[in-house]
Amino acid sequence: MASLKEMRNRIASVKATQKITKAMQMVAAAKLRRSQDAAEAARPYARRLAAVIANLAAGVSGDGAPAMLAGTGRDDRHLIIVAAADRGLAGGFTSSIVRAAREKIDSLVREGKDVKIICIGKKSTAQLRRLYSDRIVENFDLSAYRQFTLTVAQPIADVVTQLYEAGDVDVVTLFYSRFKSVVQQIPTALQLIPATVDGGGAPAAAQGGAQAVYEYEPSEEAILETLLPRNLTVQILSALLDNMAGFYASQMTAMDNATRNAGDMIKRYTLEYNRSRQAQITKELIEIISGAEAV
């Protein structure tokens, strides 16, 4: 059994850890609000851009369609982008994203596909490098950025565009954590290339109204050639913002659980300390009484 001094040191150590986890929880809660506002503010722009692209794509078909929209016509070479966190102490946030990406990668490899990987965040790089070091073509460390803007997402989009235009990949899929609420973040796979068109560009027809006919200058193809690369950057930025909000939500929850566990440990150690101290006092009293009776 540990001595009383060792038990006092344990209690003091756990109390110090509890103060740290409590402080980290409060910091994560403060950053979560700002990150959540940024993620929600980016979504309307991404949705409207997708609606414009859907509207333009409705009038484009055949050989005139841009490459990012029509694809290469093959499904042999895949690029998997795994966007996770640069830091830990956030529970299973990064692991859930990497697990979903690994399932997709392993499935493609079993089918005989050529798979390349881009890692965003030091934690995703560390986990995937152990299994797929020969498949990782690029990794991005975003720990130096306090806020995510288009200038952060643009270098990632440039690398993806270069690989696609060089003919090295046919399909590009992004894995990230979609922020739904403080207690729920959903690992999500989003196909970036060929660009997915959900038909959201004709709201008038969906509402039963008259559908307007548009004439574009320049042509739909020319506009899409400009908008599709921009949409790629916007989609990556939106995923990064969702990831940031999800990370702070997971970290806040993890630090709250750690603080509670530290409190339970302190109670248990304090109880053991009091019992040991009482036993030691009782033993000393018995020794004193026994000595007095012997005299």
- pLDDT values of the chain reduced to their tens digit, one per residue, 295 residues: 678 888 888 899 999 999 999 999 899 888 888 888 888 888 888 888 888 887 777 766 656 677 777 777 888 899 999 988 888 888 888 889 999 999 999 999 998 988 999 999 888 888 888 888 888 888 888 887 777 888 888 899 999 988 888 888 888 999 998 888 888 888 889 888 887 766 444 443 334 444 555 666 677 777 777 888 888 888 899 889 988 888 898 889 899 999 999 999 999 989 988 888 888 888 878 878 887 777 6
Of the candidates 241, 237, 283, 227, the one whose C-alpha atom is nearest the C-alpha of residue 51 is 227
What is the value of pTM for the model shown? 0.79
Peptide bond just before 194 cis, omega within 30 deg: yes
Of the candidates 186, 184, 180, 200, the one whose C-alpha atom is nearest the C-alpha of residue 39 is 180
Q: What is the pLDDT of residue 40?
A: 85
Strands 184-193 and 77-83: unpaired
Burial class (CB within 10 angstroms; exposed 0-12, middle 13-18, buried 19+) of 89: middle
CA 40 to chain centre: 15
The C-alpha atoms of residue 116 and residue 141 are separated, in whole angstroms, by 18
State which amino acid sits at residue 198. Answer: D
Bridge partner residues of 191 (DSSP): 173
Of the candidates 73, 54, 86, 60, the one whose C-alpha atom is nearest the C-alpha of residue 167 is 73
Please answer whether residues 79 and 101 qualify as being in contact, where contact means their C-beta atoms are separated by less than 8 angstroms.
no
CA distances from 165 to 66, 210, 227 (A): 11, 39, 16
Domain ranges of the chain: 39-199+214-254
Bridge partner residues of 79 (DSSP): 116, 172
Which residues are within 8 A (CB) of 90 and not within 5 positions of it... i.e. 6 or more apart? 247, 250, 251, 254
Interaxial angle between packed helices 93-110 and 122-132, expressed in degrees from 0 to 180 and rounded to the nearest 10: 30
Q: What is the pLDDT of residue 295?
A: 65
Question: Which CATH superfamily groups domain 39-199+214-254?
Answer: ATP synthase, F1 complex, gamma subunit (3.40.1380.10)
Of the candidates 85, 40, 79, the one whose C-alpha atom is nearest the C-alpha of residue 177 is 85
Bridge partner residues of 120 (DSSP): 83, 140
Q: What is the pLDDT of residue 217?
A: 66
Bridge partner residues of 138 (DSSP): 118
Bridge partner residues of 136 (DSSP): 117
248 three-state secondary structure: helix
CA distances from 158 to 93, 185, 250 (A): 27, 28, 30
